[in-house]
Homo-oligomer: A and B are copies of this chain.
Amino acid sequence: MGGGRTRRMPRAERERQMLDAAVEIIARHGYTAASMDEIAELAGVSKPLVYLYLNSKDDLFTACIRREAAALTEAVRAAVRPNLPADRQLWDGVQAFFTYTAEHPDGWTVLHLQARTHGPRFAAEADAMRAEMTAFVTRLIATAALESPHSRDLSTREIEGLAAALIGAVESLADWTNTTPTATAAQASATLMNFAWSGLGNLMSGNRWAPPGAASAARP
């Protein structure tokens, strides 16, 4: 049982396998309910080896959160080009976000739910990523506000709130995409842009936000 003697393997690869297993198990059962036994078994190694490499259950969880946060952040960063207009940056960013979370649902669960639910030490790790995302969005809004003569009056506090709302909308749509079988990352992106950029009031008046690839401009 368990597959006999395990093949020798460079440390980095072994560690990756362990983190993969941990992310999967933690996403499925929750951090506290996940047992080191299960994780070691899924990783195909013995428990002492997990301790040798990752030190403790807490450290293992922290490593998972950091790895997943870095990967998601990187995916978004790679997709955004800072020279383009704010709405285009947002569009590119959320599309990358939805694509990544759809392809890595366990990682997303770990970041979005597990990391925030098991004490401040882990929540802080997840908040670091959330703060980065919020900073990105805040910068976007602030930049756009600067260029828009009518709206200098957006206070910092207000921008912060708007950013929080936007991030929340994105997160919720990521969950929605992962839960709704037929929903795609592209649809989620379009919905998000219409919601965030145009607002429900405008949608009611027939004014949609125009996706970047659209032929004619929706905004002069």
Contact surface of A with B, Cβ cutoff 8 Å: 29-33, 87, 113-114, 116-119, 141, 144-145, 148, 150-151, 154, 157-158, 160-162, 164-173, 175-176, 180, 183, 187-188, 191-192, 194-206, 209, 219
Complex: A76 Cα to B64 Cα, angstroms = 38
| Min CB–CB distance A2 → chain B (angstroms) | 15
Known: A117-B117, A161-B173. A196 touches B206 (CB 8 A): no
Among A175, A197, A203, the one with the most B-chain Cβ atoms within 10 Å of its Cβ is A203
- Interchain CB contact under 8 A, B165 and A172: yes
Q: Which residues of B contact A161 (CB under 8 A)?
A: 173, 176, 183, 187-188, 191, 195
Please, could you name 14 A-B residue pairs with CB atoms under 8 Å apart, sorted by A? A29-B119, A30-B117, A160-B180, A162-B200, A164-B172, A165-B191, A168-B173, A172-B172, A195-B199, A196-B200, A197-B201, A198-B201, A198-B202, A199-B199
- Interchain CB contact under 8 A, B204 and A150: yes
Complex: A180 Cα to B166 Cα, angstroms = 17
Complex: A154 Cα to B194 Cα, angstroms = 11
Complex: A183 Cα to B187 Cα, angstroms = 33
- Interchain CB contact under 8 A, A205 and B148: yes
- Interchain CB contact under 8 A, A172 and B169: yes
- Interchain CB contact under 8 A, A165 and B169: yes
- Interchain CB contact under 8 A, B119 and A113: no
Q: Which residues of B contact A148 (CB under 8 A)?
A: 204-206
| Min CB–CB distance A39 → chain B (angstroms) | 16
Q: A29-B119, A157-B187, A199-B200 are in contact. List 9 more A-B contacts (CB 8 A).
A: A30-B117, A32-B33, A144-B200, A145-B204, A151-B205, A165-B196, A166-B195, A195-B196, A199-B201
Complex: A29 Cα to B121 Cα, angstroms = 12
- Interchain CB contact under 8 A, A176 and B198: no
Complex: A173 Cα to B167 Cα, angstroms = 10
- Interchain CB contact under 8 A, A200 and B197: yes
